Amino acid sequence: MSKNVLVVAAHTDDEALGCGGTIARHVAEGDTVYAVFLADGVTSRPDATPEELEQRNAAAEKAHKILGITKAYMLGFPDNKMDSLPLLDIVQKLEAVIQEINPQIVYTHHYGDLNIDHRVTHQATMTACRPVPGSSVSEIYAFEVLSATDWNTPGASPFIANFFIDVSDFMEKKMAALGAYGIEMRDCPHSRSLSNVQRLAECRGNRVGLQAAEAFSLVRYLKFF
């Protein structure tokens, strides 16, 4: 039976970096994938312009078409300032999206990421997806984002990869989506380079006997019999 899948990300490009192959796999298997982005991803930059935001949103639209995302929600919170906002304000907007689409599976950021927006996004997701009776959400997974998950303080809330999804047949779409976000990618040897994305997928995959995989930290899994 097909499922509704929701990716809750802080910024556009996080979804492609963290679970782009998994998104493409869900779509290929008949699931409907939605994404919600909490922050605008641009306004914290010096001399940011409205044109830059338009450019990033256009890149996101192209990437989502490649991955097969049905609909994306842009909540528009200020970039890299989400810790300055009442958590309740963020949660209420996120809850409205969750109530609209009733996802069974949710992917979001790892709580230990260096980027503050990623951490607040994780906290807001866990609050909005509280396991109350009647909740549609039965699975929550945290993904890793290069230059955020890997750059945090060693030993502080480490990312524990304990769930792997085979994306061997979907790396081409993941890389194409990241190509759409070309202005956000960096040259090797930067952590957030296309070559490092490929290496990470191969490393995660080889760890479990696959050509390529995306790794997740399992946050919640409810099995119904």
How high is the pLDDT of residue 1? 86
How high is the pLDDT of residue 178? 98
Per the document, the length of the chain is 225
User: What DSSP line would sit under 55-88, residue for residue?
Assistant: HHHHHHHHHHHHHT-SEEEEEEEPTT-GGGS-HH
CB neighbour list of residue 112: distance below 8 Å, 6 or more residues apart = 119, 149, 152, 156, 157, 158, 159
- pLDDT tens string 118-158: 999 999 999 999 999 999 999 999 999 999 999 999 988 99
How high is the pLDDT of residue 224? 82
Q: Round to whole Å and give the CA distance between 90 and 172.
A: 34
How high is the pLDDT of residue 93? 98
Residue with token string 């990618």: 185
How high is the pLDDT of residue 48? 64
How high is the pLDDT of residue 52? 79
Low-confidence ranges of the chain (pLDDT < 50): none
Domain that includes residue 127, residue range: 4-221
- Within the chain, residue ranges assigned H as helices are 14-28, 50-67, 87-101, 116-128, 171-180, 194-207
How high is the pLDDT of residue 43? 65
> Taking a C-beta distance cutoff of 8 angstroms, is the pair 177, 20 a contact?
yes
**Number of domains, the chain:** 1
45 by Cβ neighbours in 10 Å (0-12 / 13-18 / 19+) ranks as exposed
Check which CATH number belongs to the domain holding 184 and give it. Answer: 3.40.50.10320
- pLDDT tens string 98-129: 999 999 999 999 999 999 999 999 999 999 99
